[in-house]
Amino acid sequence: ASPLVVAVSTALSAKQGLLIRNRVNFENARQIDTVVFDKTGTLTKGEFGVTDVIPNDTNEDDLLKLAASVEYKSEHPIAKGIVNSAEEKNLTLKDVQDFNSNTGEGIEGKIDGQHIKIVSPKYIEKNNIDIDRDTFNHLSEQGKTVVFVLSNEKLLGMVALADMIKDEAKEAVQLLKDNGIKSVMLTGDHQKVADWVAKEIGIEEVHAEVLPDHKAEHIKEIQKKQAKVAMTGDGINDAPALATADLGIAIGAGTDVAMETADVVLVQSNPKDVVSLVELSRKTYRKMV
């Protein structure tokens, strides 16, 4: 690009809240035919609120107290939701030893000699732990994320949380479609929750329950279908996928790791800015060799 064109596009991009970190890859944006979106924090606000506390043996407050005590040490959006809920109820948290976080699966710690784990539905399946399927299915079908609280591998109960879809997510997907660009969802969350959110937004292709290590593999698979692929994400777990995609786009409110890996940062954290990005790249590099 000529210096003038670059200068003009830099000014334009700044105005539109696009921080271009890698101009060579930004050129790719005009040829993008698929945009892959992470769910939590990218299409949704990533601000979870607890909607249901369902104890097995104990009562609601005790279940929430145990869960919040361990989640206090985690930085996941699910953790923040559970801790906030315990604080609203003025529950006093307990001391936790041996805290450990297993990315994409859950967390664990010891409280009064009990080994407490808070885990994903996938963990429950893998370990054949008996749960109330009907309640779980019902909550998931409403788009709620359900986590399970275990003590010494025995189910203490489940906690459901709801996130909010960003207002502009649906419009972003529609505008991309109008531009001939397909949207795909790639998330670590449960299939049913992902399906619910995807349906609300109008995304047809969904890859759910994807472990952090595997997000980049999915991008490679999509690239094999002769596609120029953009990945949009906010989390540490999205960084390898951002690096693998033809264009990595980070959400401004996301983690530093995502922003440092991405080619472009959406300063306003608005998924609709992906469309502005493609349009700007098309305008800037059109008819140029």
Task: Please state, as a whole number, how many other Cβ atoms lie within 10 Å of the Cβ of residue 94.
Answer: 16
Both tokens of 135, joined, read 């309640």
Which of 195, 200, 151, 147 lies closest to 171, judged by CA? 200
Minimum distance of Mg ion from residue 1's CB (angstroms): 32
Q: Is 79 in the site for ligand ADP (CB under 6 A)?
A: yes
CA separation for the pair 131, 282 (Å, rounded)? 51
Span interacting with Mg ion, options 30-38, 90-98, 101-109, 274-282, rule CB under 5 A: 30-38
Q: Is 163 in the site for Mg ion (CB under 5 A)?
A: no
Minimum distance of Mg ion from residue 98's CB (angstroms): 27
Nearer to ligand ADP, 34 or 44 (CB): 44
Contacted entry of ligand ADP, Mg ion, none for residue 79, CB cut-off 5 to 8 Å set by kind: ligand ADP
User: Exactly one of 109, 235, 240, 271 binds Mg ion (CB under 5 A); which one?
Assistant: 235
Nearer to Mg ion, 69 or 244 (CB): 244
CA separation for the pair 65, 51 (Å, rounded)? 15
Catalytic residue flag (residue 38): yes
CA separation for the pair 281, 212 (Å, rounded)? 30
Minimum distance of ligand ADP from residue 122's CB (angstroms): 7
CA separation for the pair 180, 176 (Å, rounded)? 6
CA separation for the pair 65, 71 (Å, rounded)? 10
Q: Is 189 in the site for Mg ion (CB under 5 A)?
A: no
User: Exactly one of 81, 143, 235, 248 binds ligand ADP (CB under 6 A); which one?
Assistant: 235
CA separation for the pair 132, 98 (Å, rounded)? 29
Span interacting with ligand ADP, options 3-11, 101-109, 135-143, 196-204, rule CB under 6 A: 101-109
Of the CA atoms within 13 Å of residue 152, those in its CB half-sphere come to 3
What's the length of the chain? 289
The answer to whether the beta carbons of residues 185 and 203 sit under 8 Å apart is yes
Q: Give the active site residues.
A: 38
Could you list the residues that contact ligand ADP (CB under 6 A)?
38-40, 71, 74, 76, 78-79, 104-107, 118, 120, 145, 147, 187-189, 212, 235, 237
Using CB under 5 A, list all residues that contact Mg ion: 38, 40-41, 234-235
